[in-house]
Structure 1
Amino acid sequence: MERIKIGILGAAGYTGGELIRVLLNHPQAEIVFANSESNAGNPVSDVHEGLIGETDLKFTDQMPFNQVDVVFFCFGHGKSEAFLKEHTIPENVKIIDLAQDFRIKGNHDYVYGLPEINKADMAKAQHLANPGCFATAIQLALLPAANLNLLKEDVSVNAITGSTGAGQKPGATTHFSWRAGNLSIYKPFQHQHIAEIRQSLAQVQGYLDADIDFIPYRGNFARGIFCTAVVKTAVPAEEIIEAYKDFYADAAFTHYTDKAIDLKQVVNTNKALVHCEKFGNKLLITSAIDNLLKGAVGQAVQNMNLMFGIDETAGLRLKASAF
């Protein structure tokens, strides 16, 4: 079995560590290098201590792109585009960017990597923009509704994320003593993921005139995203639920469930769970993902599998950690 040779840039952060964890257990993956200038020469397990005993891999400040088939960008937002202006990656090397730099269609060839709607284009892609974490949870909640042409009025969305969504660098709103037992909102109606959410919903519905009124919350837990969305519609619940089941019937990791969902069902997995309930003319949709997996690294590996024509689920059959 030929292995996919992989390079990782920004390997010392949360997404870099989670990516290494997943790839070490991927049957067709081989990590060639994990780049981190500040940690060069140090064992990866010195930073990502959950990997003690699992790998002898060391961080490097080298970037031997000619030795890999694909490189993952685990940079902060805005750094991927800047990096490509200063470095040349061979044309035959695929790129999967986990930042937001290329998610919006424009003067670039990056395919937006949401498998539930773009799988055919992703299979042919050389360069791929991995969706954002909030964006993934919200899109998966709303895409079947868009497919039914239900998004005609403004949509109210609330979603809460764990502290790992803010990255590994400590900040005023991420350290334990502030976050524990606390709750807050940030960037109401202005979150950077709204643009990519609108792009996908318009792609499926054909247009999108309604606003997505998104209020993000900081949660006092480490990982996961729980989302609620309210859509006004007179369409019967039975018709909507059947449409949701049909929309995700062939999805590898996104599942509609008739039961109310909770966050622990998805944490440590690449799954997304979606549930609908009707209250009069209001449709309540809930969705849940792990922000580091289906919201970042897991989806990126799923996308790599699709780009290389192998089993979409390879390396991603993960068990929810709470059960």
Structure 2
Amino acid sequence: MQTIKAGIIGGAGYTAGELLRILINHPQVKIGFVHSKSNAGNFIYEVHDDLFGETDLKFSATFDSNVDVVFFCVAHGEAKKVVTEFSPSVKIIDLSQDHRIAADHSFVYGLPELNKEAIQNANYVANPGCFATAIQLALLPLAEAGLLNGEVYASCTTGSTGAGQSLTETSHFSWRQNNLSVYKAFMHQHLAEINQSLLQAQDNYSGNLYILPQRGSFTRGILACITLKSDKTLNELQVLFEDKYQDEPFVFLAPKNCHLKQVVNTNKCLLYLEKNEDDVMIVSVIDNLLKGASGQAVQNMNLMFGLPETTGLKLKPSAF
């Protein structure tokens, strides 16, 4: 059985903690190193205390180049600085936003439901953003059918873990609890990568997508409620979505309106369609730390190494 030796850079944050939880239990992965500038020499479970009893690994102060794949869980802007630390034979999966926009780099955009074949042949993959994943999976069937021809509105509510581990006013318990607010309206940083993918799927797509993000009073998950106009019947739209995702192991068309507890702690995306006259509503729910980050990163690793996509990712939702 193939053994993949993996390294993690930026090992102290939420995405790295979830990545470690998956990789420790992945049947074909051995963790080579977990790098953290601020925690070097400490046991991993001293930071990620949910991993107490799961591993005796310590954070390292240096990188180990003797690995097969490295996950970048660093702050935006930092990934570009460390790519050259590894030989071209080492596969890289970047969970930051540094390489998501196609430009002068060799990273493949890592949305498996859009770029599966390219990911399978890639050495470098840029993992999509969490909002971007939820919204793109809701819109790709329409884009591939050439049906995105007007304005699209995405009202998206995310949990506090989407803001990262650093304490800020709006992630503080006393501010976030029993509260709700809009932020970065129309200007969210994931808009560029979403528009890039939709244009890839539909070459005449005009880019009329408006994102309205909200901070929710919970820790994990994203619920995206997307509205647009279409003269297609509900049945025609459902068939379109079923055909698109019938062979995708993590995306499902739900028979009734879905909610976050169906996907939290999984790599799933659930989609639900509803229609009122010419108005279409698409609900998309994911776990922002898994399908929106670390779970999707492992899904990409599986594809890059020729493993079944679901390896190590058969996770039950925390439904109650």
Of 146, 168, 171, the match for 2:168? 171
CA contact (8 A) 1:70 1:93 kept: yes
Q: Distance in 2 between matches of 1:295 and 1:151?
A: 23
Q: Distance in 1 between matches of 2:137 and 2:26?
A: 25
Q: 1:148, CA displacement in angstroms?
A: 2.1
CA contact (8 A) 1:152 1:210 kept: no
Residue in structure 1 matched with residue 72 of structure 2 by the alignment:
73
Matching of residue 120 in structure 1 with residue 117 in structure 2: yes
Of 131, 149, 154, the match for 2:128? 131
Name the SS of the counterpart of 2:285 in structure 1. strand
Residue in structure 1 matched with residue 317 of structure 2 by the alignment:
320
Q: 1:246, CA displacement in angstroms?
A: 0.5
Q: Distance in 2 between matches of 1:250 and 1:143?
A: 15
Of 250, 253, 257, the match for 2:254? 257
Partner amino acid for 1:138? I
Q: 1:204, CA displacement in angstroms?
A: 1.0
* Cα deviations by residue, 1:160-209 (Å, 9 ceiling, x for unpaired): 10000000011111111110001111110000000111111111122211
Q: Distance in 2 between matches of 1:210 and 1:233?
A: 16
Residue in structure 2 matched with residue 83 of structure 1 by the alignment:
82
Equivalent residue pairs, number: 320
Residue in structure 2 matched with residue 13 of structure 1 by the alignment:
13
CA contact (8 A) 2:76 2:96 kept: yes
Of 248, 265, 268, the match for 2:265? 268
Q: 1:145, CA displacement in angstroms?
A: 1.3
* Cα deviations by residue, 1:19-72 (Å, 9 ceiling, x for unpaired): 00010010001100000121111110000000011111111101011x100000
Residue in structure 1 matched with residue 205 of structure 2 by the alignment:
208
Matching of residue 280 in structure 1 with residue 273 in structure 2: no
Residue in structure 2 matched with residue 111 of structure 1 by the alignment:
108
Q: 1:76, CA displacement in angstroms?
A: 1.2
Residue in structure 1 matched with residue 228 of structure 2 by the alignment:
231
Q: Distance in 1 between matches of 2:172 and 2:2?
A: 43
Unmatched 5+ stretches in structure 2: none
Name the SS of the counterpart of 2:122 in structure 1. coil
Name the % identity. Answer: 54
CA contact (8 A) 2:40 2:60 kept: yes
Name the SS of the counterpart of 1:42 in structure 2. coil
After superposition, the Cα gap between the structure-2 partners of 1:127 and 1:210, relative to the gap in structure 1 and judged at 3 Å, is: closer
Matching of residue 102 in structure 1 with residue 111 in structure 2: no
Q: Distance in 1 between matches of 2:216 and 2:75?
A: 21
CA contact (8 A) 1:150 1:231 kept: no
Name the SS of the counterpart of 2:280 in structure 1. strand
Residue in structure 2 matched with residue 50 of structure 1 by the alignment:
50
Partner amino acid for 1:209? S
Name the SS of the counterpart of 2:93 in structure 1. strand
Q: Distance in 2 between matches of 1:121 and 1:83?
A: 23
Q: Which runs of 4+ in 1 moved over 2 A?
A: none
Of 130, 141, 151, the match for 1:144? 141
Q: Distance in 1 between matches of 2:279 and 2:88?
A: 49
Structure 1 residues 180-195: aligned runs within 5 Å: 180-195=177-192
CA contact (8 A) 1:187 1:215 kept: yes
Q: Which sits farther off after the overlay, 208-217 or 287-296?
A: 208-217
Matching of residue 162 in structure 1 with residue 159 in structure 2: yes
TM-score in terms of structure 2 length: 0.98
Name the SS of the counterpart of 2:169 in structure 1. coil
Residue in structure 2 matched with residue 246 of structure 1 by the alignment:
243
What do you get for the CA RMSD once the two structures are aligned?
A: 0.9
Partner amino acid for 2:147? L
TM-score in terms of structure 1 length: 0.98
Q: 1:158, CA displacement in angstroms?
A: 0.4
Q: Distance in 1 between matches of 2:297 and 2:8?
A: 12
